[in-house]
């Protein structure tokens, strides 16, 4: 929750009156998000710094969250994620392990810990996936594999927990204005060009802001979505509905779709 979609979601939930337990690896950024949430709600959130790829940290973070709220857990937002560039000829097993451990294994572990508490409250889970979980893209193999896994995980766990009245859904953002791609190695100029191409690769002609994804997460977590489970909701400006032929009228449209992901 220390940046990007996670930070925007934390802030929105604070505005809606939620009692929050937030985690992230960057303590400085997490404290900034915590201060923003406290200002929005008047209530100080629990801040639990750690690395979810470390099992001991995950257990400590989760236990700290439930202990901080007397064992009550209503909503779990799984948002930890990284991206790495490279197709089958460039991706390595080390990259594969790092991506899958961060994007999928952490989600599996945290959800498994949360399930007994969510059953008690008939709570719900919202996972953050990507348009890469719904469509294939060249050049980001391990990332796309992880997002397809998240979508499958969402559906399977939704069925596992349906008889317990615990809902499980995910959001699938398109290009979103965060630091994710720069952390993966894009420089400022490359990232600006990537954002500019979003007007060709998204039907609505632009990229998303993190707050727009947070709005969908809040909806899925709310009682307004009481009959929705096992769903993957695109928050992608219509990108999932496009195909190469519909992009070819714009110079560079097809190559942008093939070489750049969200």
State how far the alpha carbon of 134 is from the alpha carbons of 31, 144, 197, 202, in Å. 34, 9, 20, 14
State how far the Cα of 119 lies from the Cα of 59, in Å rounded to an integer: 19
State how far the alpha carbon of 140 is from the alpha carbons of 88, 100, 176, 185, 262, in Å. 9, 13, 16, 13, 10
Q: 117, 143, 194, 207: which is the annotated catalytic residue?
A: 143
The pairing of beta strand 75-78 with beta strand 46-49: unpaired
Burial (CB count <10 Å: 0-12, 13-18, 19+), residue 138: middle
Specify whether 207 is catalytic.
Answer: no
Burial (CB count <10 Å: 0-12, 13-18, 19+), residue 171: buried
Q: Dihedral of CA 4/243/245/261: which sign?
A: positive
Residues 6+ apart with CB under 8 A from 254: 244, 247, 248
Q: Name the residue among 146, 30, 23 with its Cα closest to residue 76.
A: 23
Angle at 166 between CA 162 and CA 169, to 5 degrees: 90
Phi, psi of 73 (to 5 degrees): -140, 120
Instruction: Give me the active site residues, please.
Output: 143
């Amino acid at each position: 929750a220390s940046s990007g979609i996670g930070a925007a979601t934390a802030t929105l939930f604070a505005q809606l009156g939620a009692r929050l337990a937030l985690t992230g690896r960057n303590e400085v950024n997490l404290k900034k998000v915590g201060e923003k949430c406290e200002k929005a709600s008047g209530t100080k959130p629990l801040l639990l710094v750690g690395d979810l790829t470390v099992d001991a940290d995950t257990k400590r973070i989760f236990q700290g969250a439930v202990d901080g709220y007397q064992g009550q857990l209503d909503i779990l937002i799984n948002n930890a994620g990284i991206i790495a560039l490279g197709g089958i000829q460039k991706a390595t097993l080390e990259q594969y392990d790092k991506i899958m451990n961060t994007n999928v294994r952490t989600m599996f572990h945290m959800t498994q810990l949360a399930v007994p508490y969510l059953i008690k409250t008939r709570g719900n889970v919202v996972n953050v996936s990507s348009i890469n979980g719904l469509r294939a893209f060249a050049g980001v193999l391990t990332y796309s594999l992880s997002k397809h896994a998240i979508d499958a995980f969402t559906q399977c766990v939704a069925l596992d927990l349906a008889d317990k009245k615990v809902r499980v859904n995910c959001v699938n953002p398109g290009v979103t204005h965060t630091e994710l791609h720069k952390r993966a190695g894009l420089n400022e100029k490359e990232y600006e060009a990537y954002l500019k191409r979003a007007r060709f690769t998204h039907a609505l002609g632009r990229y998303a802001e993190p707050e727009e994804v947070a709005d969908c997460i809040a909806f899925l977590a709310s009682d307004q979505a009481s009959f929705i489970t096992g769903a993957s909701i695109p928050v992608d400006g219509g990108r999932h509905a496009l195909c190469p032929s519909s992009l070819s009228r714009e110079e560079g449209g097809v190559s942008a779709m093939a070489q750049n992901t969200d």
